[in-house]
Amino acid sequence: MRTPLIAGNWKMHKTVAETTAYLEAIINEDLPDTVDVVCCPNFVSLPAAAMVVTGSQIGLGAQNVHWETNGAFTAEVAAPMLTETGVKWVIVGHSERRTLFAESDETALDRARAGQEGGLEVIYCIGETLAERDAGETFAVLERQTAALGALDPDHLVLAYEPVWAIGTGRTATPAQAQEAHAFLRVRVASIFSGAAAEGLRILYGGSLKPANAHELLPLTDIDGGLIGGASLDVRSFSAIIRAAADCAAGDDS
């Protein structure tokens, strides 16, 4: 059975002081130990965050990583810099990186490979836009975005399905739509790696998962947790999602 993973992507939010206060509060929430929890602050907050979460159940993640270990790459951060800070996880290929900063399938893969080679657990984001969804291209997009995953180690890989049309738009994929995409990805992973790898690999839902819909989405067969954006910025909201994941894993999806 796959352990649920709830990862918070804080994006460009929270100062160092706010990050510290938040993490101290979430640690005091006495969260269930049946769920893996990761928080991904901005780069400048990572050292302070590491000091707070060390020894706790909260994993620390970064929001990006460069494909080289050093060099003339202004504003980029390399895997050894992250691991030295205490980071264990990294997000790559997020839809905002793709749409706003020209991230491609190729560069996302390069970042993921560098992250794994540097000792990081990689959360690899994929998903279709509204235009692609409406054109019936969802599966074709997911197939293209996962075409080169065979270059990665499935034991240190998590997929995050982001229906881009359901992020910050007020729209959310129905449980049926979410499960359909996740089931497709599970089969896709089996074809790239193996059936055993597909059974063990976690696939997160990243389309505006929040306390109000957590008990509808998290019990679904091929959804193994969530990559949470806005709802991860509030301690009570994030805690509620984590507890929902624990309830669903225990078979209580009421």
Catalytic positions: 94, 162
- The first and second tokens of residue 142, run together, are 């997911």
| Cβ-based burial of 216 (10 A; exposed 0-12, middle 13-18, buried ≥19) | middle
CB 165 within 8 A of CB 130: yes
Residue-wise DSSP of the chain: -PPPEEEEE--S---HHHHHHHHHHHHTT---TTSEEEEE--GGGHHHHHHHHTTSSEEEEES---SSSSSS-TT---HHHHHHHT--EEEES-HHHHHHS---HHHHHHHHHHHHHTTPEEEEEE---HHHHHTT-HHHHHHHHTTTGGGS-GGGEEEEE--GGGSSSS----HHHHHHHHHHHHHHHHHHS-HHHHHH--EEE-SS--HHHHHHHTTSTT--EEEESGGGSSHHHHHHHHHHHHHHHTT---
